[in-house]
Structures are given as C-alpha cells and as structure tokens.
Amino acid sequence: MWTRKSLKEKAKKAFKLNYWKCVLCALIFAIFVGGATGGFSGASTGSAGSAMSNVFNDRAEEVQEIDHEAELDVDVEERDGEMVIIDEEGNEVPEGGAIAAGIAFIAVMFVLMGIVILIATAVGLVVEAFLIKPIEYGLRFFFRRNLDEPANLSLIAHSFDKNYMNSVKAGFFSQLFISLWSLLFVIPGIIKSYEYRLVPYLVSENTEMTWKEALAESTRLMKGHKWNTFVLDLSFIGWEILSFFTCGLLSIFYVDPYKLSTDAALYEAIKYGNTEVAA
C-alpha cells in the first residue's frame, strides 16, 4: 500500500533531476489546463451571461420606471395636467400596454441570453475537448515518464501524435460525466472526479485503449484509494498558502511540478504497486 511520504519522496527526487523542464511543463499546465479546464466554457458563458444579464437588468429597471422611450419607441408627455405615454405616431398608449411591451422585450432578452450561453458553452466544450485535454494528457505523460528517467519536452505532444481521438473522447466524456454528477449537490461530482483520476495516464500509456475502457479501468483502480487520494491532495494546502504569499512564484518554481510529479507517482503506485525511491 502506498503512502503519502513515499509518493512525495519519489516525486521530489524525479522532478529535481529534470528541474527546468518540469518547471516549464508545470507552467504550461497552469496556463492551458489549470486556467482553462472548466474555465473555457465557464468564462465564455460567464462573460456572455454577465453581459446579457446587465442588459436584462437595465431594461427591467427602465420598464419599471416607464420612462424608456428609446427602447420602446415611446415618449412621455403632459396632457390635461397628467403624464401620459405617447407612441411614435403621436397616439396615447395605455400604461398597461407599455408594461406589456416591456415584458415582451424582457422575454426576448431571456431567449437571446439562453442562446448566447448555449453557443458559448458549446464552443468552450469543443476547445477543451480538442485542444486542452490532449495537452493535459501529454503533460501528464511527461511527468509519468520523468519518474523513471529525465523526460523530453517532446512528450507534451504525445497525445497529438499517438492517440489523439482517444484523448479527445476520454477527456470529453470524463468531463461530461463529472459535470452531470456534479448537478447532484456537487459531492457526487467530486467522487466521480476521483474515480477518473487515472484516465489521462491510462490513455497515454495504452494508445489502443478506448475511452470507455479507460474510464472503467480508472474506476476499478481507484476503488479503495479515493479517500487516501483526497487526503494526499489536502496535504498540499500548506504549500498553496505559502505560494499565495509569494504571489504564485513558489507554485511556478516548486509546488506545481511537485504536485504533478506526485500525481504521476500516485498512478504508478496504484497501477504497478511501485513506490520505491530511485537511487
């Protein structure tokens, strides 16, 4: 049975022997994967949704105030000592009619906002599946190989050269299932993410393995290891806090390559039962 100490010792020794390449790969991981996974769709839908929400809120306020002639092609005038609403042809519009027009406008905004969010989400999922996930799998393959001997940077492109569509499918469906399970009060999604923790390594090492086989094999291998893996992740909190106080510099030059190397060592320990530290 693996221990946190054995994994971390092997990880530190491995990445220090190939320090600058590991730092570069960890930096690429942080830029393309850490900031994009779950963020491409989230950022795109967030920005689109925020923009549309602002429009919606502005229009809603204007409808409540009635004085919104620019959007509804009406004007407000004083007739016989009373304020009345006048349409573009000079006819008096009942107040209820203006409010109905405002409600219709808001409904259209709702529909447009939904369409924009759907399009942004679809674009985000496509970018993540066809670009981000293969990059992630290649980077994880680099750290896996680096445990045994100093790895070459060319391994980053491994998924594009050897098993591109398998990486795309495995990345897409694993993320899809995690997202769907997350709809059930988040916790099931977290559990599912730990079940699929080893998918990138399985797909990278077994180029003929299908995405279904990779997800099933990862689930099998992680059985009985999910809680200990969760505790392993928590053990890096101290490093994350220290990194915060260094404006992220500690993460770039130490914590991130350390964590990625440890994760690769976790896969090796679970898959092959190998936790010995290389001499």
- Give pLDDT tens digits for 245-277: 999 999 999 999 999 999 999 999 999 986 554
- Average the pLDDT over 92-120 and give the result: 76
CA–CA gap between residue 215 and residue 209 (Å, rounded): 10
- Average the pLDDT over 157-178 and give the result: 91
CA–CA gap between residue 140 and residue 150 (Å, rounded): 14
Tell me what percent of the residues of the chain surpass a pLDDT of 70. Answer: 73
Long-range contacts, 106-113 (Cβ 8 Å, 24+)? 106/56, 106/59, 106/60, 106/63, 109/52, 109/55, 109/56, 109/59, 110/56, 112/52, 113/48, 113/49, 113/52, 113/53, 113/56
Confidence band of 70 (pLDDT split at 50, 70, 90): very low
Residue 172 has pLDDT above 70, yes or no: yes
Q: What is the pLDDT of residue 118?
A: 84
Residue 95 has pLDDT above 90, yes or no: no
- Average the pLDDT over 67-81 and give the result: 53
22 contacts: CB under 8 Å, gap ≥ 6: 15, 143, 146, 257, 260, 261
Q: What is the pLDDT of residue 96?
A: 56
Q: What is the pLDDT of residue 270?
A: 96
Q: How do 92-93 and 82-87 pair as beta strands? A: antiparallel
Q: What is the pLDDT of residue 38?
A: 45
The residue among 38 and 102 whose pLDDT is bigger is: 102
Q: What is the pLDDT of residue 77?
A: 57
Residue 211 has pLDDT above 60, yes or no: yes
Q: What is the pLDDT of residue 244?
A: 94
Q: What is the pLDDT of residue 84?
A: 57
Residue 234 has pLDDT above 50, yes or no: yes
- Helical H runs in the chain? 4-17, 19-28, 40-65, 69-72, 95-127, 133-146, 158-161, 164-182, 187-195, 199-205, 211-222, 226-234, 237-245, 249-250, 256-272
Q: What is the pLDDT of residue 129?
A: 87
Q: What is the pLDDT of residue 278?
A: 42
Q: What are phi and psi of 85, to 5 degrees?
A: -100, 130
Q: Rounded to an integer, what is the distance from CA 265 to the centroid of its chain?
A: 23
Q: What is the pLDDT of residue 78?
A: 57
Confidence band of 208 (pLDDT split at 50, 70, 90): confident
Q: What is the pLDDT of residue 39?
A: 46
Tell me what percent of the residues of the chain surpass a pLDDT of 90. Answer: 57
- Give pLDDT tens digits for 115-160: 988 888 788 878 888 999 999 999 999 999 999 999 999 999 999 9
CA gyration radius, the chain: 27
Confidence band of 109 (pLDDT split at 50, 70, 90): confident
Q: What is the pLDDT of residue 94?
A: 59
The residue among 125 and 205 whose pLDDT is bigger is: 205
